[in-house]
Structure 1
Amino acid sequence: MAIRSEQSRQAILQATMRLLDEREPDSMSVQQLSIERIAREAGVSKTTIYRWWPSKAAVIIDTFLANHILQTTLREDLPPVDALREHVVSLAKVYSGHEGRLMAQLIAESQYDPGTLDTFKTLFWRPRRDVINRVIERAIAEGSIRSGYSLDELAERIYAPIYFQLLFAEGSFDGDSVIAGFELALHGIAAERVAT
C-alpha cells in the first residue's frame, strides 16, 4: 500500500475515533455518525473511505479493533485457564470505559440492521471466538475444561457475563467481580453432590 494511501486510511480511523469519543465536544453516537461526516473530519472523499470499507459499521469496527485487540490479548505462554482468566479481566477493564459504551452501541445498532450485524460478526466476533476457541481446545486437551460441548458453546459461556454487564449496566467490571463471574462460568451452577 502506498504511503499516501496508508496515511489516508489512518486519518479515517483516527477521525472516526475522535467523532465517537464522548470526551470530545463534537462527539456523536454510532447511530448519528455518517460516512459523510467521517470523510469531512478526515479530509478525504467518501470514495476513499469506500475503497477500504463497505459500510459505516465496517469503519467503526476496524477503528475499534485497532485499539481493542492490543489491550485484550490471549497469551500463549500461560496455562490456558490462566490465559482465559487474564483475558476476561483485560476485556472488562477495556469495557469499563469509553470502548465499552461504543461496543454497546455497535451491538444495539446490529439488532435492527442485518448488514451491521453481519459485519460485526465477520470482523469482530468470529475472529475473536476463533482465538479463544484455540485456548479452550488447549484447556480441554490438558483436562482443565471438560469436553462434551462445542468450542463455540464454551466460548459463549465465558464471554456471556461480560456482555450481560456491558449491555444491562448490571454488576461491576472490577477485577474481583469479573474473576468471580469467570469462575462461575468455569465451574457451572450445579450444586456439588455429596457422596453418600
Structure 2
Amino acid sequence: MNAAADLLVSGGLKAATVEAVSDVSGVSKVTLYRHWPSRQAIAAEAFGQLMREHLVVPKTDDPPADLVSYLVDIGAFYRGPLGVTFAELVGACANDPTTAAYFRTFFLDERRKGFATLVERCVESGYFRADADIDEVIDLFFGPLVYRTLVGHASVDDRAVNSIINHAIRGLRADPGAV
C-alpha cells in the first residue's frame, strides 16, 4: 500500500501500475494479483490510505466548527494534486464495477462514516434539525465539491467551499432564523 500510495502522489493513477507497485514494493506481480484484481483496485485502497493520512475528522467541543473545518480541508485536498487522482479513480469506477467496489469500501465508506459522526454531533447539539437524514446531509455537503472536482466547471477554492457550506447549513439549521 505504501508503494502504491507513493506512486499515486508522484504520478497519479497512470503511475500506479501493477508493475510499478511490484518494482517499488519488491512484491511480485503474482502476489499483488492474488490480493487485488486490478491496478485500479490497488490504487483505490491506497487512495483511501492517503485520505486517512491527510484528512482527520476533528473532534472538539464545537461540532459546527469541526464540520466546517473538515469540509474546508476536503476542498483543499480536492484542489490539490490528489484531487486529480480522485477524479481519475472516480472515472475508473464508471467502467469497472470491481474498482467501484474497492473505491466504496476503502475510500468512500470510511469518509462517509467519519463525516456522519460530525453530522450526528451537529444534530445532537441542536445545531441541525433532528429530522436530518444523515446520508442525505452527507450528499448535500459532498455532492457539490465532488461534482466541481470532476467536471471542473467551477472552483473549489475556499470562498466557493464556504459558500456551499453556508447554503447547506442554512437549510439544515434547527432554528432557520439563526445565522
Same-fold status (TM-score > 0.5) = yes
Superposition deviation, residue 19 in structure 1: 4.2
Q: Does 1:126 align with 2:109?
A: yes
Higher helix fraction: Structure 1 or Structure 2? 2
Q: Quick check: which has more Rg, 1 or 2?
A: 1
The answer for the alignment partner of 2:133 in structure 1 is 150
The answer for the alignment partner of 2:2 in structure 1 is 10
Query: Aligned to 1:65, which of 45, 48, 51?
Result: 48
The answer for the alignment partner of 1:170 in structure 2 is 153
In structure 2, give the amino acid aligned to 1:128: R
Identity of aligned residues (%): 25
Superposition deviation, residue 16 in structure 1: 4.9
In structure 2, give the amino acid aligned to 1:18: S
Gaps of 5+ in 1: 1-8, 21-27
Gaps of 5+ in 2: none
In structure 1, give the amino acid aligned to 2:75: A
Superposition deviation, residue 152 in structure 1: 0.8
The answer for the alignment partner of 2:60 in structure 1 is 77
Superposition deviation, residue 165 in structure 1: 0.9
CA RMSD of aligned residues (A): 2.5
What is the SS of the residue equivalent to 1:137?
Answer: helix
In structure 2, give the amino acid aligned to 1:126: D
Higher relative contact order (CA 8 A, sep 6+): 2
The answer for the alignment partner of 1:29 in structure 2 is 14
Q: 2:78 and 2:61 mapped to 1: Cα distance?
A: 23
Aligned length: 174
- Say whether the 8 Å CA contact 1:15–1:42 is kept in structure 2: no
Q: Does 1:138 align with 2:121?
A: yes
Distance 1:123 1:67, change over 3 A: closer
TM-score under structure 1 length normalisation: 0.77
